[in-house]
């Protein structure tokens, strides 16, 4: 009986979660920085990603729809690393509920995107081309100074030495 209740509550919860409007999953701020950038002491390189979510509530030019709870346009600044901070990409993200896709197509990689899930506190995602998982925590006080990498791939706790 107990297991049936747990199973039933799981089903109900997933239905509710799937029908929540996008704004319930996204951070409330206009600009929110998510990052797992950290300094790799073995190589001297900066590793990780930074994604800045920009809630601008613009109209979609392609669909000509006004923004609403269901049709908000969310842009991101996507910044990988290449030893140091790499040039950021600015693009329209595709978000449904807490699922997102960030198109990163280039001539060399026409199908490349970054996909995953977003909440107000964390982004968990992968490139569409492989299975390496990234976990980016919300940065409440973002700066361009970085702590060392832990073996989990996340920054150490000591902030901005």
Partner 1 sequence: MGFLFRDKPQTYAPPPTPPTPTMLGQTPAPTEPPTGLESSTQQTAPTGGRTAVAVDLPGRPGSYLDSEFAPKVDAFIRYAREAGHDIRFSSSDRTQAKQDDIRRSGKGTTPAEQSLHSAGLAVDIGDFDGFTESKKLDIRNAAERAGLSWGGTFRPKPDTMHFHFDPIPGQDRTDLINNFAEQVRRLQSRQ
CA distance 33 to 6: 35
CA distance 42 to 21: 44
Residue 151 in contact with partner 1, rule: CB under 8 A: yes
Residue 43 in contact with partner 1, rule: CB under 8 A: yes
x/- mask, partner 1, residues 95-124, rule CB under 8 A, reads: ---------x---xx--x------------
Question: Residue 52 CB: number of other CB atoms within 10 A?
Answer: 18
Tokens of 48: 């990780």
* Size of the residue set binding partner 1 (CB under 8 A): 34
Residue 146 in contact with partner 1, rule: CB under 8 A: yes
Instruction: Report the DSSP beta bridge partners of residue 102.
Output: 114
Residue with tokens 């595709």: 94
Cβ-based nearer residue to partner 1, 7 or 90: 90
Burial degree of 15 (CB within 10 A; 0-12, 13-18, 19+)? exposed
Scanning 25-33, 58-66, 81-89, 115-123 for contacts with partner 1 by CB under 8 A, the matching segment is: 81-89
The site for partner 1 (CB under 8 A) is made up of 38-47, 80-86, 104, 108-109, 112, 127, 129-132, 144-146, 149-151, 153, 161
């Amino acid at each position: 009986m107990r297991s049936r209740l747990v199973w039933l509550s799981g089903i109900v919860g997933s239905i509710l979660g799937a029908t929540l409007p996008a704004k319930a999953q996204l951070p409330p701020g206009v600009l929110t920085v998510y990052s797992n950038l950290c300094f790799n002491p073995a190589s001297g390189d900066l590793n990780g990603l930074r994604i800045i979510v920009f809630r601008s509530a613009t109209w979609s030019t392609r669909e000509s729809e006004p923004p609403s709870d269901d049709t908000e346009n969310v842009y991101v600044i996507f910044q990988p690393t290449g030893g140091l901070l790499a040039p950021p990409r600015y693009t329209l993200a595709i978000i449904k509920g807490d699922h997102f896709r960030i198109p990163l197509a280039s001539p060399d990689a026409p199908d490349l995107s970054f996909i995953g899930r977003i909440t107000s506190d964390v982004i968990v995602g992968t490139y569409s081309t492989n299975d390496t998982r990234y976990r980016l925590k919300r940065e409440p006080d973002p700066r361009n100074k970085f702590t060392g990498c832990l073996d989990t791939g996340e920054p150490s706790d000591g902030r901005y030495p």
